[in-house]
Chains A and B, each alone.
Chain A
Amino acid sequence: MNLLEALKIINRSRNEPGKPFRLMLICGFTPLHMETFLAAHVASYGPLAAVTVSHGLYGDLVGNLERCRPSEIDAAAVVVEWADLDARLGARSAGGWDPSRLSDILQCVRIQLGRIGNALRSLEPQPVAVSLPTLSLPPVSFARPGQLSAFEAELRSEMALFAASLTAYPHLRVLSALEIDDRSPVNLRHDLKSELATGFPYSLGHADELARLLAGFLRPPARKKGLITDLDDTLWRGIVGEIGAAQVSWSMEGNAQVHGLYQQLLASLAASGTLVGVASKNDPALIDEAFARRDILLPPERIFPIEAHWGAKSKSIARILKAWNISSDAVLFVDDSPMELAEVQAAYPALECLLFPKDDPAALWNLLYQLRDRFGVARLQIEDSLRSDSLRSHAKFEAEIQSDSADIDTFLQHADAEITFSCSKQADARAFELLNKTNQFNLNGERLSESEWNSLLASENRFVLKASYKDRFGSLGTVAVLAGTCCVGSVMIDHWVMSCRAFSRRIEHRCLAWVFDHFNVGEVALRFVSTPRNGPLQEFVATFLGPLPWKSLQIPYSLFQDKCPILYHSLLEIL
Chain B
Amino acid sequence: MTALKDRLSDCFCAVFPNRSREELLTASRESIPEWDSLTGVTMLMLLQQEFHLDIDLTELENFDSVQAVYDYVAANATAPEEPHGS
* B14 pairs with A7, CB closer than 8 A: yes
Indicate whether B42 reaches chain A with its CB closer than 8 angstroms: yes
In the complex, the chain A residue whose C-beta lies closest to that of B50 is A4
Greatest chain A CB density within 10 A among B14, B49, B57 is at B14
Nearest CB on A from B36, distance (A): 12
Indicate whether B41 reaches chain A with its CB closer than 8 angstroms: yes
Chain B 40-58 interface residues, beta-carbon cutoff 8 Å to A: 41-42, 45-46, 49-50, 57
Indicate whether A14 reaches chain B with its CB closer than 8 angstroms: yes
Indicate whether A11 reaches chain B with its CB closer than 8 angstroms: yes
* Among candidates A3, A7, A10, A32, residue contacting B38 with C-beta atoms closer than 8 Å: A32
- Report A-chain residues with C-beta under 8 Å of the C-beta of B10: 4
- Given contacts A198-B41, A198-B57, whether A4 and B46 have CB atoms under 8 Å apart is yes
Indicate whether B4 reaches chain A with its CB closer than 8 angstroms: no
Instruction: State the CA gap A204–B15 with chains docked (Å).
Output: 16
15 other A-B residue contacts (CB within 8 Å) besides A3-B49, A4-B11:
A2-B49, A3-B42, A3-B46, A4-B46, A4-B50, A7-B15, A7-B17, A7-B42, A10-B17, A11-B14, A32-B38, A33-B45, A197-B57, A198-B57, A204-B45
Nearest CB on A from B4, distance (A): 15
Instruction: State the CA gap A33–B17 with chains docked (Å).
Output: 16
* A204 pairs with B41, CB closer than 8 A: no
- Report B-chain residues with C-beta under 8 Å of the C-beta of A7: 14-15, 17, 42, 46
Instruction: State the CA gap A14–B38 with chains docked (Å).
Output: 20
- Report B-chain residues with C-beta under 8 Å of the C-beta of A36: 42
Instruction: State the CA gap A197–B49 with chains docked (Å).
Output: 18
Indicate whether A8 reaches chain B with its CB closer than 8 angstroms: yes
Q: List 28 A-B contacts (CB under 8 A).
A: A3-B42, A3-B45, A3-B46, A3-B49, A4-B10, A4-B11, A4-B14, A4-B46, A4-B49, A7-B14, A7-B15, A7-B17, A7-B42, A7-B46, A8-B14, A10-B17, A11-B17, A14-B17, A30-B38, A32-B38, A32-B41, A32-B42, A36-B42, A197-B57, A198-B41, A198-B57, A204-B45, A204-B49
In the complex, the chain A residue whose C-beta lies closest to that of B44 is A198
- Report B-chain residues with C-beta under 8 Å of the C-beta of A4: 10-11, 14, 46, 49-50
Instruction: State the CA gap A197–B42 with chains docked (Å).
Output: 13
By secondary structure, the B interface counts as helix
Instruction: State the CA gap A30–B42 with chains docked (Å).
Output: 12
Instruction: State the CA gap A144–B46 with chains docked (Å).
Output: 37
A-B contact count (CB 8 A): 37
- Report A-chain residues with C-beta under 8 Å of the C-beta of B42: 3, 7, 32-33, 36
Residue-wise, chain A 112-125 has the 8 Å CB interface mask toward B (1 for contact) of 00000000000000
Instruction: State the CA gap A239–B9 with chains docked (Å).
Output: 61
Instruction: State the CA gap A320–B11 with chains docked (Å).
Output: 50
- Report B-chain residues with C-beta under 8 Å of the C-beta of A200: 41
- Report A-chain residues with C-beta under 8 Å of the C-beta of B15: 7
In the complex, the chain A residue whose C-beta lies closest to that of B17 is A11
- Report A-chain residues with C-beta under 8 Å of the C-beta of B49: 2-4, 204
Residue-wise, chain A 1-39 has the 8 Å CB interface mask toward B (1 for contact) of 011100110110010000000000000001011001000
Nearest CB on B from A56, distance (A): 15
- Report B-chain residues with C-beta under 8 Å of the C-beta of A193: 57
In the complex, the chain A residue whose C-beta lies closest to that of B48 is A204
- Report B-chain residues with C-beta under 8 Å of the C-beta of A30: 38
Chain B 2-49 interface residues, beta-carbon cutoff 8 Å to A: 10-11, 14-15, 17, 38, 41-42, 45-46, 49
Nearest CB on A from B47, distance (A): 10
Nearest CB on B from A67, distance (A): 21
Chain A 163-207 interface residues, beta-carbon cutoff 8 Å to B: 193, 197-198, 200, 204
In the complex, the chain B residue whose C-beta lies closest to that of A7 is B14
In the complex, the chain A residue whose C-beta lies closest to that of B14 is A7
In the complex, the chain A residue whose C-beta lies closest to that of B7 is A4
Instruction: State the CA gap A328–B38 with chains docked (Å).
Output: 47
In the complex, the chain B residue whose C-beta lies closest to that of A5 is B14
In the complex, the chain B residue whose C-beta lies closest to that of A196 is B57
Nearest CB on B from A21, distance (A): 18
Nearest CB on B from A258, distance (A): 41
- Report A-chain residues with C-beta under 8 Å of the C-beta of B17: 7, 10-11, 14
Instruction: State the CA gap A30–B17 with chains docked (Å).
Output: 22
Nearest CB on A from B43, distance (A): 10
Nearest CB on B from A219, distance (A): 22
Instruction: State the CA gap A11–B19 with chains docked (Å).
Output: 12
- Report A-chain residues with C-beta under 8 Å of the C-beta of B46: 3-4, 7
